[in-house]
Amino acid sequence: MTPILYSFRRCPYAMRARLALAVAQTPVQLREIVLRDKPQDFLDASPTGTVPCLVTQTGPIDESLDIMKWALAQNDPDGWLDMPPEGHDWIARADGPFKDALDRTKYATRYPDEDPAEQRSKAADFLHDLDAQLNDWIFDRPTLADYAILPFVRQFAFIDRAWFDAQDWPSLQAWLDRFLASPRFEAIMTKYAQWQPEDAPVRFP
């Protein structure tokens, strides 16, 4: 069977799953989910009820980073998995402390006991370190780390783009801008209608 990807266009976790599936040219059936109206088929498939969820012959893969690794294990034409071990450390920092601070900045009303300015400062500490690491890429060429982290930097940047652009992060800003202008990003951001059980399959990529 063709694997089924339950996705949500603007979710950074789903973005990075689609990025890996696209570069691997691993075909899936894409089902666009509306988070406030989750279909029963999706809830039955996903152990956590979160996107992305990839349903394969051997069972569901419910973590976006695992979906990336699964896709690249099928085909990795650009060598994204061939990265220094430090790449996994960068991803862990982005997925952990940075994402926590990002959420507490972007969704401040959900965290009334947290100071959003302090949380933005915590996120900025990570971005300052990342800017210092970057040339064109985190390492000497694009790897899994770049494409696992870029969707979350995009999400943070658009909380307050004027503030983000005013920071002294020239390498980081150029890295993000190249990504946003790239055919690779455009190709994963096609708009799809909300999936309904009676719909014809939608192939991705």
Low-confidence spans in the chain with pLDDT less than 50: none
Task: Kindly report, residue by residue over 99-138, the tens digit of the pLDDT.
Answer: 999 999 999 889 999 999 999 999 999 999 999 999 999 9
SS3 annotation, the chain = CCCEEEECCCCHHHHHHHHHHHHHCCCEEEEECCCCCCCHHHHHHCCCCCCCEEEECCEEECCHHHHHHHHHHHCCCCCCCCCCCHHHHHHHHHHHHHHHHHHHHHCHHHCCCCCHHHHHHHHHHHHHHHHHHCCCCCCCCCCHHHHHHHHHHHHHHCCCHHHHHCCCCHHHHHHHHHHHCCHHHHHHCCCCCCCCCCCCCCEEC
Rounded Cα distance between 151 and 11, Å, is: 8
Is 99 in the same domain as 170? Answer: yes
What local confidence, expressed as pLDDT, does residue 92 receive?
A: 98
Q: What is the pLDDT of residue 141?
A: 96
pLDDT of residue 1: 85
Residues 92 and 181 in one domain: yes
For residues 181 and 195, membership in a common domain is answered with no
Q: Judge if 101 and 165 occupy the same domain.
A: yes
Domain that holds residue 33: 4-77+190-204
The pLDDT of residue 158 is 97
User: CATH number, domain at 164?
Assistant: 1.20.1050.10
Q: Are residues 138 and 54 in the same domain?
A: no
pTM over 0.75: yes
- Total domain count, the chain: 2
Distance of CA 157 to the CA centre of its chain: 14
Q: What is the pLDDT of residue 47?
A: 86
